[in-house]
Amino acid sequence: MAPGWERWRAQLEEALSPVCEWLIGEIAPRPGDTVLELSAGPGDTGFAAAAIVGERGRLISTDFSPDMVEVARRRGAELGLQNVDYRVIDAERIELDADSVDGVLCQSGYMLMADPATALSETRRVLRPGGRVAFSVWGAPERNPWASIAGRIIVDRGQMPPPEPGAPGVFSMASEERTRALSEAAGFSAVRTQEIPVLLAFRDLDEYESG
Amino acid sequence: MGGQLAMVVRGLPEEERQAVMSQLKEAFAPFVADGRYELPGVALGTVGR
């Protein structure tokens, strides 16, 4: 998966820039802060925070996939970032001390985890008091035809079983109520949600398939 | 397409893969704009402290 991600990095970065901007705005990092990004993928969301926290601060860019961590490492080197630690981390067992980071970012990650409740509890554990998590998941299937149409076709043709409710997947946290409940059960307070519209563009179906 | 779906499609026999892509082309027709496909999406952002 990682080579595909790297190829699509620029296109995804543009398409998901509204999400990135919202996430960064919500954790509002300050110079000197330590920011953790979970499921960082190619790393771009966290890199935006790295630029803000500056040389006195630190970004810990993490992913469950070692290949993806290497994608982010290469991208960070291209950007000349000096304040980023790249680590393979399982979000359900975050190998960081309690109360050790000022903010946590996670774009399109928790929904793919086997146990998002544990991952959110771990997130709360490593956040300092008052620190914020900002994360995004995908909304309802009918609002996301870029993913739901292909999924429906493949399921209808019997090539993939229909997703089980609550199982990890693109739409597993599409319910605002479930996402809010998971967050609050993990110990987060002042939980807010917001819809963020995006537009995914591609030249042709070959490009769509390979993305 | 997204990781899991893309892997499923790439693993299909060529004839079945072509059938999926043909159905996709039909389903995506309403989203053609300026010579490309433009598909909307909505992310759900959540913040907590």
CATH number at residue A11: 3.40.50.150
Give the model's pLDDT for residue A1: 47
Q: What was the pLDDT predicted at A4?
A: 53
Q: Which of A55, A41, A45 is nearest to A7 (CA)?
A: A41
Give the residues across from A138 on adjacent strands. Answer: B43
Residue A14 CA to chain centroid, in angstroms? 15
pLDDT given at position A85: 98
| A24 inside domain | yes
Amino acid letter, residue A71: V
Asked whether A77 and A100 are in contact (CB, 8 A), the reply is no
| Amino acid at site A46 | G
| Residues of chain A falling short of pLDDT 50 | 1
Identity of residue A45: T
**Residue A49 counted as domain residue:** yes
pLDDT for A46: 97
Q: Which residues lie across from B27 on neighbouring strands?
A: none
- The answer to whether the Cα torsion of A139, A141, A145, A146 is positive or negative is positive
Rounded to the nearest 10°, the torsion over CA A111, B19, B32, A160 is -10
Tell me, what's the pLDDT at A206?
Answer: 81
The verdict on A167 touching B (C-beta cutoff 8 Å) is no
Residue A164 and residue A51 in contact, taking contact as beta carbons nearer than 8 Å: no
Residue of B nearest to A156 (CA): B20
Q: Is the pLDDT assigned to residue B2 strictly greater than 70? A: no
Q: Given the structure tokens 């605002």, which residue do they identify?
A: A176
A210 in any annotated domain: no
Look at residue A31 in the predicted model and tell me its pLDDT: 98
Q: What is the pLDDT of residue A100?
A: 98
Examine residue A188 and state whether it is found in any structural domain, yes or no: yes
Answer yes or no: is A207 within a domain. no
Measure in Å the smallest separation between the Cα of A1 and chain B Cα atoms: 7
Residue B45 above 90 pLDDT?
yes
Within a domain: residue A60? Answer: yes
Is the minimum CB–CB distance between B16 and chain A shorter than 8 Å? yes
Q: Is residue A158 part of a domain?
A: yes
Q: What CA–CA distance (Å, rounded) separates A176 from A73? A: 33
Question: What 8-state DSSP symbol labels residue A110?
Answer: G
- Complex ipTM tops 0.90: yes
Our count of domains for chain A comes to 1
| Measured distance CA(A163)–CA(A133) in Å, rounded | 27
For testing the chain A interface, which of B7, B8, B39 should be mutated: the one with the most A CBs within 10 Å?
B39
pTM, two decimals, is 0.91
Is residue A211 situated within a structural domain? no
- pLDDT tens-digit series, residues B25-40: 999 999 999 888 999 9
Closest chain A C-alpha to B23 CA, distance in angstroms? 7
Residue B12: partners with Cβ closer than 8 Å, 6 or more residues away: A159, B20
Helix (H) or strand (E) holding A173, with range, is none
Distance CA A98, CA B47 (A): 19
What domain range is A156 assigned to? 2-202
